A and B are shown apart, each in its own frame.
Chain A
Amino acid sequence: MRLFQKLRRRGSPAASSGSSNYAYVTARVRAMKSNLLPNETYPRLINMDLDEITRFIEETQYKQDVDELARKFKGVDLIEHALNRNLAVTFSKMIDISEGELNYLITEYLKNYDIWDIKTILRGKYYNATLEEIKDNLVSAGQFKYNFLSELAEKESYENVIDALSNTDYYPILKNYDGTNLPEIENQLDTLYYQRLFNAIGTPKSSDRKLFSKLIRTEIDIKNIKTMFRMKKEGVEDGELEDLVLDGGLRFSLKEINKMIPLPFADFINSLEKYPYWEAMSDLVTPDMESLVDLETSLTKYTIKSAASFSHAYPLSIVPIMDYMISKKNEVNNLRIITRGKAANLDEDIIKNQLVI
């Protein structure tokens, strides 16, 4: 059998080709999705105290992670690390169980965790965060293993971190980091990520690839909308715009964004009305709105919903897998919000507002 596989691999022209096991992975992912916590769990969790939440989490799929980390951490840190570890293990599993082209696409998609980790470490170094604080936020779901990441986090200065990353694809960008231009570097990393992802997708010919590309581009749009609202609220100058928004969105081109940004807030909102994302925003957006939390929650919900509806259109494609990954990430985020909120003694209503259910 191995010989056969070897022969088959030798025959294939590139690493990305070869037959993909869509049927196996999508069925497995669907079964995994049914293991996610149902939405009605969250209100129940909000009513519990921290110990009860830990016990509850220990009875779900996070059991193994909580058990293994219980020796090293306790309280909120334990939950945080268990959640991150579970996320990393789950996503690495996706890479392990997939083959061929599917594997290639998932690997490219998950590289955003590598970028996330690099950003976390650099930001941590920038703000002199403690080692524990940095390690709390590392998710080794991409190409970097947890040990490598924690070694990176232990380095004394950002120069050492960047040196350690010298044989990665991110080095050409990172070497321009001089200790002050962090936002610029972060945006360049994001741009690189999406460039590579679009390269991996190529010019989509089959309908499932088109859907995948549409999903990614919707994600970019949603990110851009959030950025635009934040910029409007904080009164960021137009000059910095190019560095902050991402190109390649489905509905918003850079040109349109450039046109929308100088508008006064009320006109800016009006100009959003013609986009399909308006249905997710219409009730929440007012000219005198103060908090963006509701809006961002609603937009994230929109992403999850569109991924779910796309996944029914092409059951044997990467889209159901993306849908699962987005839902899983959301579950982990929600649990983190609840535990962190509880630990900080926040009001239940505030926690509830932050949740994306």
Chain B
Amino acid sequence: MVGEEAITMIDPAGLKAIGAGLAVGLAGVGSGIAEKDIGAAAVGAMTEREEMFGKGLIMTVIPETIVIFGLVVALLIS
């Protein structure tokens, strides 16, 4: 009986780790989706006007903040 209980029990530390992983992972996927169009647009603008490189780069990495939030949350959890 004791042995069976030990199998069904879930370690809270493991759940925390999964939560932290989800926080970073989903935030990464989200910002990836957001960056897809911005990146495409930035490359498009850059092919015609090279001086757009700086602006394009900054615009492209703005959604990256979401990942930082995800990372912070992950650190708070673990």
Contact = CB atoms under 8 A, between A and B. Distances in A.
A34 B48 CA distance: 10
Interface stretch (A18-26, A49-57, A328-336, A346-354): A18-26
A167 to B, nearest CB: 35
A28 B43 CA distance: 8
A312 interface: no
A89 interface: no
A27 B42 contact: yes
A25 B43 CA distance: 10
Interface stretch (B12-20, B33-41, B63-71): B33-41
Nearest to A32: B48
B8 interface: no
Interface in B28-52: 36-38, 40-45, 47-49, 52
A35 interface: yes
Contacts of A29: 44
B48 A23 contact: no
B48 A35 contact: yes
B49 A23 contact: no
A1 B43 CA distance: 19
Contacts, number: 37
A31 interface: yes
A27 B41 contact: yes
A31 B49 contact: yes
A30 interface: yes
Interface in A1-53: 21, 23-32, 34-35
B41 to A, nearest CB: 4
A84 B9 CA distance: 76
Interface residues of A, number: 15
A31 B37 contact: no
A35 B49 contact: yes
Contacts of A34: 49
Which of B37, B43, B45, B49 has the most C-beta atoms of chain A within 10 angstroms of its own C-beta?
B45
Contacts of B41: 23-24, 26-27
Contact of B45 (A21, A30, A97, A316): A30
Contacts of A97: 44
Contacts of B36: 23
Contact of A25 (B38, B42, B44, B49): B44
A23 B42 CA distance: 9
A28 B38 contact: no
Which of A30, A31, A97 has the most C-beta atoms of chain B within 10 angstroms of its own C-beta?
A31
Interface string A180-202: 00000000000000000000000
Contacts of B43: 24
Contacts of A27: 40-42, 44-45
A27 B49 CA distance: 11
Nearest to B37: A23
A205 B61 CA distance: 34
A23 B72 CA distance: 31
12 contacts: A23-B36, A23-B40, A23-B41, A24-B41, A28-B47, A31-B44, A31-B45, A31-B47, A31-B48, A32-B48, A97-B44, A316-B37
